[in-house]
């Protein structure tokens, strides 16, 4: 039995957190620079907004649908091999995208290779690894790890736009790909056997600290519960609400009068607030509970969408910063909460594959949100319906925290 007053943030556990953070950041850097490509690809190939957005949405679909596969690979092969696959897939995808001349080239390089790389370096393997090192303080640990989303987004948008401005979008992809592949040198010299083993006292008591009958969870058993689908629904609808905004934000800001580089940098500033919001949400979850923390994050996100909606007004400064701050503080903050709840409900040796199956909802949400936002814009030639769609999805995404008794009991 672990001492509840004893901190779980021991040196090696902190090192594992740093590794997971780095992997999450590199994966997001590879993918979240895509909003900078929307305008150049549309101009060079004369594609519609929905066609360009479909590249991003297909990548989200790949990331989500491969979650169970990545979880199974993690359970069987361990973090070293899964993280290595992530770097190779993401780096090669970036380089190949710089050579692309046809839509299917982008589907292969960005949607498939980079999308799979994001899955292999993202929430599924990172949550599974963290569950071997943390239990009581896992909400805060996952919040810190998931904040790599902000770092990766900020770095990816800023660096890629700088490269695009100076060298063009193709060379920008080459340079980003080379940078991603260089991280293999770091992975080559880590003590993987110790990292994979987890904390001895936690592993030995993994199933004895839960005040419920012990269940040997498998993905099939988990899928028979309504709370599995409740967590997947949170991922799906929240992903719809978030990514219907992200994919359109840079182009929308350009259309209301911001220069392209300024629009990209402004969106990238969101990344500064993501770590603050995630870590703050993790701390609040320990103090006031996951339920009220989750409700606060949804209020912030909806406020951010409303602020973006008002950006075309005569005085856009306050709405702009309202969007940046509120969206940044809430973006990705539900992920650690879902990971924490899932680790309590489905603890066991198959947690990686179970959480990967839950994360399918996030990938589907990312894909459908980015695709439908482009389609809605093409059909209406207006962003108003896009913003309304986002808010509706966010409200639905919050509902399992309220309506599902088993999920709420864990908050």
pLDDT mean for each 10 residues of the chain (411 residues): 63 91 93 87 85 85 88 90 95 95 94 94 90 82 84 86 91 94 92 86 50 72 91 94 87 84 80 84 85 94 93 80 92 85 82 86 84 87 90 95 86 68
Where does 289-350 have alpha helices with state H?
A: 290-309, 317-330, 334-345
Q: Is residue 209 situated within a structural domain?
A: no
CATH of the domain at 227: 1.20.1250.20
Whether residue 1 lies inside any domain: the answer is no
**Burial of 111 per CB tally in 10 Å (0-12, 13-18, 19+):** buried
In a domain, 396, yes or no: yes
Q: CA geometry: angle at 209 spanning 208 and 212, to 5°?
A: 80
- Predicted confidence at residue 210, as pLDDT, reads 43
Q: Do the domain assignments include residue 204?
A: no
* Predicted pLDDT at 367: 79
Q: Quick check: is 213 in a domain?
A: no
pLDDT score recorded for residue 1: 44
Domain interval for residue 361: 11-188+219-409
Which token pair is 252? 């929308």
Q: Helix (H, G, I), strand (E, B), or coil: what is residue 350?
A: coil
Pair of tokens at residue 159: 């660096």
Q: Exposed/middle/buried for 43, CB within 10 Å: 0-12, 13-18, 19+?
A: exposed
Output the 3-class SS for 106-162: HHHHHHHHHHHHHHHHCHHHHHHHHCCCCCCCHHHHHHHHHCHHHHHHHHHHHHHHH
Residue in 22, 24, 30 with CA at minimum distance from that of residue 190: 22
How many distinct structural domains can be found in the chain? 1
Within 8 A by CB and 6+ apart from 326, the residues are: 300, 301, 303, 304, 307
Instruction: Give the angle subtended at the CA of 90 by the CAs of 84 and 95, to the nearest 5°.
Output: 125
Examine residue 210 and state whether it is found in any structural domain, yes or no.
no
SS3 (DSSP) at 182: helix
Q: Crossing angle of helices 226-255/260-268, nearest 10°?
A: 150
Which strand (E) or helix (H) includes residue 189?
A: none
Identify the pLDDT of residue 207: 46
Question: Does a structural domain hold residue 4?
Answer: no
Question: Residue 18 domain-assigned?
Answer: yes
């Amino acid at each position: 039995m672990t001492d509840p007053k004893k901190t779980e943030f021991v040196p090696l556990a902190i090192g594992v957190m740093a590794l997971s953070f780095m992997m999450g950041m590199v994966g997001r850097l590879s993918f979240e620079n895509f909003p900078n490509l929307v305008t150049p690809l549309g101009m060079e190939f004369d594609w519609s907004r929905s066609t360009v957005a479909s590249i991003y949405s297909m990548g989200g679909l790949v990331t989500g649908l491969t979650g169970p596969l990545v979880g199974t690979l993690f359970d069987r092969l361990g973090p070293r091999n899964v993280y290595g696959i992530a770097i190779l897939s993401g780096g090669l995808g970036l380089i190949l995208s710089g050579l692309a001349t046809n839509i299917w080239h982008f589907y292969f390089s960005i949607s498939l290779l980079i999308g799979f790389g994001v899955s292999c370096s993202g929430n599924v393997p990172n949550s599974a690894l963290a569950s071997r090192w943390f239990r009581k303080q896992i909400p805060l640990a996952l919040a810190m790890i998931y904040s790599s989303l902000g770092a990766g987004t900020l770095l990816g948008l800023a660096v890629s736009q700088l490269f695009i401005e100076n060298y063009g979008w193709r060379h920008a992809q080459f340079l980003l790909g080379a940078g991603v592949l260089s991280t293999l040198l770091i992975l080559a010299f880590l003590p993987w056997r110790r990292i994979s083993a987890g904390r001895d006292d936690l592993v030995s008591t993994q199933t004895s600290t839960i005040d419920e009958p012990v269940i040997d969870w498998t993905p099939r058993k988990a899928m028979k519960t309504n709370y599995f689908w409740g967590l997947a629904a949170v991922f799906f609808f929240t992903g719809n609400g978030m990514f219907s905004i992200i994919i359109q934000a840079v182009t929308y800001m350009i259309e209301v009068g911001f220069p392209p580089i300024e629009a990209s940098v402004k969106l990238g500033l969101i990344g500064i607030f993501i770590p603050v919001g995630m870590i703050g949400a993790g701390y609040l979850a320990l103090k006031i509970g996951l339920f009220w923390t989750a409700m606060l994050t949804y209020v912030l996100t909806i406020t951010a969408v409303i602020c973006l909606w008002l950006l075309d007004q005569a005085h856009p400064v306050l709405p702009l910063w309202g969007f940046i701050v509120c969206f940044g503080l809430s973006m990705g903050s539900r992920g650690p909460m879902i990971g924490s709840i899932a680790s309590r409900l489905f603890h066991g040796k198959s947690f990686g594959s179970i959480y990967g199956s839950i994360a399918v909802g996030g990938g589907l949400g990312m894909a459908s949100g980015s695709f439908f936002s482009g389609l809605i814009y093409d059909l209406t030639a207006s962003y108003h319906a896009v913003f309304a769609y986002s808010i509706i999805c966010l409200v639905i995404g919050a509902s399992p925290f309220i309506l599902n008794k088993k999920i709420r009991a864990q908050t």
